[in-house]
């Protein structure tokens, strides 16, 4: 019976850490490398929600099936078409980058999902997803989403210098890594600049876009900044090592958290995985892309990374290799220890 089937499925989705990504245009490889980094280091079950253009769906399915069974069993996935529930779909689709506005509609589409981590395709996990997932437990009673600041230094930040619309805090927030409690988002009435009473998330999106569309540069990220400007109590701000971008090192190191703990999530925006402007970012991307599943992490991932980093010391980001290596080294040690313990446990049963 349909009801019974749903009940048996529920526990797995409750135990799942839900990860959403939106892939359009030429973002297939980038998305697969991001998913690979998530699976490599996480110990808990993952549920991937991939929003993609129809033409990419068979490619995703083909590539994910090629992964080894030991990795495939760590996740389940769904691929969804690109859809916008309110307003003009063509307008939303063209906002900033192809399909980027899709993320604004996740609370409406994924009605059965309680909490979710949304990431851009150009993100790489350098530690287990469960580490950022724990931040959900730190939300107070009014917080329903978490993001990192767009910049650490207001005088060189984009929003503080150029924005022509309201934005959150002193430097705005970056939406490339966004943790969401979807249940809370769906049930909240949001303050806004359009009507005195509150609006639901879905009611607010299109009028907000209509009001500010001539003033926004970064599309959906700007809309999120406007929403949290009017509802600051709804946002939890996590530190920059959870959304580490070229801006954090290309003008000199300005992310204290990454200097202390190392980078937790790398966000290669500005296309840096695919050109030679920031070779440290490109090195990490290529090493994770080329890592053969099942190989020794230190031998086939960490050591090649160290040697690639030697070629980047002439750049400002390359001068601080420990920032990029610290967390990934820690994570690999943990993965290795877990495997050794499991292996020894299996061999010492009798």
Note the pLDDT tens digit of each residue in 154-187: 778 888 887 889 989 999 999 999 999 999 999 9
pLDDT one-digit tens code per residue, 277-288: 999 999 999 999
Average pLDDT over all residues of the chain: 90
- pLDDT score recorded for residue 8: 34
pLDDT of residue 343: 60
Average pLDDT, integer, range 291-307: 92
Q: pLDDT > 70: what percent of the chain?
A: 93
CA–CA distance, 133 with 345 (Å, rounded to integer): 28
Closest CA to 216 of 319, 299, 97: 97
Q: Which CATH superfamily is domain 17-238 in?
A: Spore Coat Polysaccharide Biosynthesis Protein SpsA; Chain A (3.90.550.10)
What residues contact 214, with CB distance under 8 A and at least 6 apart? Answer: none
Q: Distance between the two ends of the chain, CA-based, in angstroms?
A: 43
Residues in the chain: 350
- Reported confidence tier of residue 7, pLDDT bands at 50, 70, 90: very low
pLDDT, tens digit, 9 for 90 and up, residues 314-349: 999 999 999 999 999 999 998 888 777 766 665 554
pLDDT in tens, 81-91: 999 888 888 88
Average pLDDT rounded to a whole number, residues 257-264: 97
**131-135, 246-250, 290-294, 340-344 — which is least confidently predicted?**
340-344
What is the C-alpha separation between 124 and 286, in angstroms, rounded? Answer: 11
Q: DSSP character for 199?
A: B
Of 72-76, 259-263, 315-319, 337-341, minimum mean pLDDT range: 337-341
Element (H, E) at 282: helix 279-290
Query: What was the pLDDT predicted at 89?
Result: 86
Per-residue confidence (pLDDT) for residue 194, from 0 to 100: 86
Beta-bridged to residue 250, according to DSSP, are 252
Average pLDDT over residues 275-298: 95
pLDDT reported for residue 346: 58
Q: 271 vs 70, 157, 256, 279, 308, CA distance in Å?
A: 32, 19, 24, 11, 19
Give the per-residue pLDDT at 88: 85
Higher pLDDT among residues 300 and 87, named by residue: 300
Q: Where are the domains of the chain?
A: 17-238, 241-347
Tokens 């020794």, residue located: 296
Place of tokens 């879905």: 202
For residue 253, pLDDT beyond 80:
yes
Residue 342 is predicted with a pLDDT of 63
Q: Mean pLDDT, to the nearest integer, of 268-278?
A: 95
The pLDDT tens digits for 93-147 are 878 676 889 999 999 999 999 999 999 999 999 999 999 999 999 999 999 999 9
216-241 pLDDT, tens digit each: 888 899 999 999 999 999 999 999 99
Percentage of residues in the chain with pLDDT exceeding 90? 74
CB 78 within 8 A of CB 51: no
pLDDT at 10 over 80: no
């Amino acid at each position: 019976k349909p009801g019974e089937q749903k009940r048996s499925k529920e526990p797995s989705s409750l135990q799942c850490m839900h990860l959403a990504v939106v892939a359009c245009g030429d973002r297939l490889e980038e998305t697969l490398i991001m998913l690979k980094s998530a699976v490599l280091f996480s110990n808990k079950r993952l549920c991937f929600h991939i929003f993609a253009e129809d033409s990419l769906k068979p490619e995703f399915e083909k590539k994910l099936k090629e992964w080894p069974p030991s990795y495939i069993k760590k996740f389940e996935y769904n691929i969804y078409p690109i859809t916008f529930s309110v307003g003009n779909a063509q307008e939303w689709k063209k906002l900033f980058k192809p399909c980027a506005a899709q993320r604004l509609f996740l609370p409406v589409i994924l009605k059965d999902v309680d909490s979710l981590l949304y990431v851009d395709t150009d993100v790489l996990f350098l530690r287990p997803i469960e580490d950022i997932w724990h931040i959900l437990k730190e939300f107070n009673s009014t917080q329903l989403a978490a993001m990192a600041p767009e910049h650490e230094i207001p005088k060189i930040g984009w929003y503080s210098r150029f924005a022509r619309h309201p934005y959150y805090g002193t430097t705005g927030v970056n939406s490339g890594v966004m943790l969401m409690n979807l249940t809370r988002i769906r049930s909240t009435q949001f303050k806004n600049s359009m009507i005195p009473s509150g609006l639901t998330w879905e009611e607010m999106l299109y009028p907000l876009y209509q009001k500010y569309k001539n003033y926004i540069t970064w599309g959906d990220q700007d809309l999120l900044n406007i929403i949290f400007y009017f509802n600051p109590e709804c946002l939890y701000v996590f530190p920059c090592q959870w959304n580490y971008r070229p801006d954090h090192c290309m003008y000199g190191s300005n992310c204290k958290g990454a200097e202390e703990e190392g980078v937790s999530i790398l966000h290669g925006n500005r296309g840096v995985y695919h050109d030679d402007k920031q070779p440290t970012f490109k090195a990490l991307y290529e090493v994770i892309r080329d890592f053969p599943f099942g190989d020794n992490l230190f031998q086939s991932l960490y050591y090649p990374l160290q040697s690639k980093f030697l070629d980047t010391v002439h750049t400002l980001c390359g001068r601080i290799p420990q920032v990029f290596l610290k967390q990934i080294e820690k994570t690999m040690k943990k993965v290795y220890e877990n495997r050794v313990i499991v292996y020894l446990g299996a061999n010492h049963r009798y």
